[in-house]
Amino acid sequence: MTSSAYKIIPATFTAIPSLEAWRAIAVAAVETPDAALEAIGYVIGTDGDVPAAVGLDRAALGRAGFTGKTGETLLVPTNDGAELIAVGAGDAALTGSTLRDVAAAFARAAKASARIGLVVPGNPAVSAAEAGAVITEGILLARYRFSALQSAPKDTPLAAVEIAVAEASVDELATGIRRGVVTSRSAALARDLANAPPSHLTATDLADIAAQLGDEFGFDVESYDKAQLIEMGCGGLLGVNAGSAEEPRMIRLSFTPAPSSANGRHVAFVGKGIMYDSGGISLKPSDPMHLLMKMDMGGAAAVLGAVTALRDLDSPTAVTAFLSCTDNMPSGSAYKLGDVLTARNGTTIEVKNTDAEGRLVMSDALVLASEGKPDAIVDIATLTGAALMALGGATAALLGNDEAVIEGVKDAGAASGESVWQLPLEKSYRKQLDSDIADISNLGGPHAGATTAALFLAEFVDGIPWAHLDIAGTMQSTTDEAWRSKGATGFGARLLVDFAMNFRSE
């Protein structure tokens, strides 16, 4: 399956170690955390009571430098027992998003401990179930590490987490925890795939993993190989793949809700799956950016991660997904500048830059998605450096042709803490994509690169309500920060889960 002789991959290697890791972590709702845990955190705001268990009053905490501002942590010395950590919650008005970040800050402060507990004050703004879900996500995602290729993990893996929320029903809290375990597992799987080295995870490998995940999590998987893609007329994906020693794959996932839960609605997700983006003949300059390009399949990873959650969360919405997968390599057989590719819907595309490959592989996948006549399409792609320049690493660019779908994505972004910001799909820029010899070119002008890329994609959705997420900036984090762990963030996996769970169409 793999063609490069230099790849000596340990037989024990798995590109999705989080599948095992998540099974090994017990997360429980409790009234009071077990005193035998290694570390217990107490969430404390800038005012209000300090729990008696902390053993210090606010003035004493203040003298130790703890003010209670969001994300602040203080190790409180004790004579014996669990390590005691004060965790700042800010000015009491905790939202789900802040609570997730606060829980993450605690999990990082307790990083040497495998068995930890967190005590949170009652908070009417966040239901017990939501609290359970966001605290679980914050803790599990903060402690995520990709250690599959380390002889011994450098960080202490989590074994047990106990969560107590004052005045909350333990049953409701437990319901939320179960949801948080599933959604954070989705994100962790997406991180695993994006963190995996490019030669450890080819397009064919990803198709195999998708099939394995489909068996385990109750969705159907079909993969189309090169010969089938030729039959299907997927000239965009084939063009990008031309320079590669590895075969491409178009991976189709489909989830059908249980009849008793189904809402009759159907959405399609489409993910960019460039396993490695060298730029092709338009070779990227040799800078550290190259190292990130193994993550150019972050969109496909987010979609696959999201779909693994749908059965366990009893999604009412049917989901079909397409992951368009290949690497983008220069070679004697590579596609060239000036070549014209023909996408599945017959659109001819003049290639003016082989590094604008994402939109080419997305074109065929969007056409396939639209052929299924879904109620909406949401695509996610590490598409443009321009999105990174405009919005940085915390916020993804959001564009689309339908305000209702865009609003749905905004809501899902807010609920998941995966921040999005809408950019205009400015139609007057479409002429930048004009070609003298084909229907469209793959290169816009020097400005508004995220918009011109989205305008290109818009031509392949056949008028179906559509939203596009450009995650070039948010696919990875250079530091450990709140729920984002250094490396691939899995951005979009939890957002897409939330979108499917809450999808409405008029």
Q: Which residues form the catalytic set?
A: 284, 359
From 207-215, 270-278, 344-352, 431-439, give the range in contact with Zn ion by CB under 5 A: 270-278
| Binding flag, residue 292, Zn ion (CB under 5 A) | no
> What is the rounded CA–CA span in Å between residue 453 and residue 61?
52
HSE of 28, CA atoms in CB hemisphere, 13 A: 14
Print the binding letters for residues 273-292 with Mn ion: x by CB under 5 A, - otherwise.
----x---------------
* Least Cβ distance, residue 207 to Mn ion (angstroms): 22
Site residues for Mn ion, 352-391, by CB under 5 A, read 355, 357
Beta 115-120 vs 160-165: how paired, if at all?
parallel
> What is the rounded CA–CA span in Å between residue 292 and residue 329?
15
Site residues for ligand BES, 361-390, by CB under 6 A, read 382-386, 388
From 7-15, 39-47, 150-158, 356-364, give the range in contact with ligand BES by CB under 6 A: 356-364
* Least Cβ distance, residue 274 to Zn ion (angstroms): 5
* Least Cβ distance, residue 380 to Zn ion (angstroms): 13
Q: Which does 388 bind (CB under 5 to 8 A by kind): ligand BES, Mn ion, Zn ion, none?
A: ligand BES
Does the annotation list 296 as a binding residue? Answer: yes
Q: How many residues bind Zn ion (CB under 5 A)?
A: 4
Does the annotation list 57 as a binding residue? Answer: no
| Binding flag, residue 470, Zn ion (CB under 5 A) | no
Q: Which does 408 bind (CB under 5 to 8 A by kind): ligand BES, Zn ion, Mn ion, none?
A: none
Does the annotation list 287 as a binding residue? Answer: no
* Least Cβ distance, residue 226 to ligand BES (angstroms): 21
- Sign of torsion over alpha carbons 479, 472, 325, 277: negative
Nearer to Zn ion, 188 or 274 (CB): 274
| Of 328, 477, 336, nearest in space to 395 by CA | 477
| Residue choice 296, 327, 364, 459 for contact with ligand BES (CB under 6 A) | 296
Q: Are 329 and 280 in contact (CB under 8 A)?
A: yes
Task: Please list the alpha-helical segments (H only) found in 92-142.
Answer: 96-109, 128-142
What's phi and psi for 100, nearest 5 deg? -60, -45
Nearer to ligand BES, 11 or 291 (CB): 291
- Report CA-CA distances (Å) from 369 to 257, 292, 316, 462, 467: 18, 28, 19, 10, 13
CB atoms within 10 A of CB 35: 11
Q: What is Dmax (Cα atoms) for the chain?
A: 78
Extended strands (E) in 196-247:
220-224
Nearer to ligand BES, 25 or 454 (CB): 454
Query: Token digits for 96?
Result: 């789900």
| Residue choice 205, 247, 277, 327 for contact with ligand BES (CB under 6 A) | 277
Q: What angle do CA 130, 172, 28 make, to 5 degrees?
A: 90
Q: CB nearest Zn ion: which residue?
A: 277
**Residue in this structure with the two tokens 């089938």, named with its chain if needed:** 228
| Residue choice 83, 101, 162, 296 for contact with Zn ion (CB under 5 A) | 296
| Binding flag, residue 449, ligand BES (CB under 6 A) | yes
Beta 348-350 vs 440-441: how paired, if at all?
parallel
Does the annotation list 80 as a binding residue? Answer: no
Does the annotation list 364 as a binding residue? Answer: no
| Binding flag, residue 198, ligand BES (CB under 6 A) | no
Q: How many residues bind Mn ion (CB under 5 A)?
A: 3
* Least Cβ distance, residue 144 to ligand BES (angstroms): 20
Print the binding letters for residues 106-125 with ligand BES: x by CB under 6 A, - otherwise.
--------------------
| Binding flag, residue 274, Zn ion (CB under 5 A) | yes
Q: At what angle do helices 96-109 and 128-142 cross, to 10 degrees?
A: 40
From 30-38, 183-191, 261-269, 355-363, give the range in contact with ligand BES by CB under 6 A: 355-363
**Residue in this structure with the two tokens 């399949």, named with its chain if needed:** 297
CB atoms within 10 A of CB 5: 6
CB atoms within 10 A of CB 145: 22
- Report CA-CA distances (Å) from 190 to 42, 168, 255, 266, 309: 31, 32, 18, 23, 12
Nearer to ligand BES, 146 or 491 (CB): 491
Q: What angle do CA 49, 55, 56 make, to 5 degrees?
A: 65
Site residues for ligand BES, 211-250, by CB under 6 A, read none
Rounded to the nearest 10 degrees, how much is the dihedral formed by the CA atoms of 127, 128, 131, 136?
-150
| Binding flag, residue 357, ligand BES (CB under 6 A) | yes
| Binding flag, residue 327, ligand BES (CB under 6 A) | no
- Report CA-CA distances (Å) from 329 to 27, 225, 352, 354, 386: 43, 18, 16, 9, 22
Annotated binding site for Mn(2+): 272, 277, 296, 355, 357
Q: What does the binding site for Zn ion look like in residue numbers (CB under 5 A)? A: 274, 277, 296, 358
Q: What does the binding site for Mn ion look like in residue numbers (CB under 5 A)? A: 277, 355, 357
Q: What does the binding site for ligand BES look like in residue numbers (CB under 6 A)? A: 277, 292, 296, 353, 355-358, 382-386, 388, 443, 449, 472
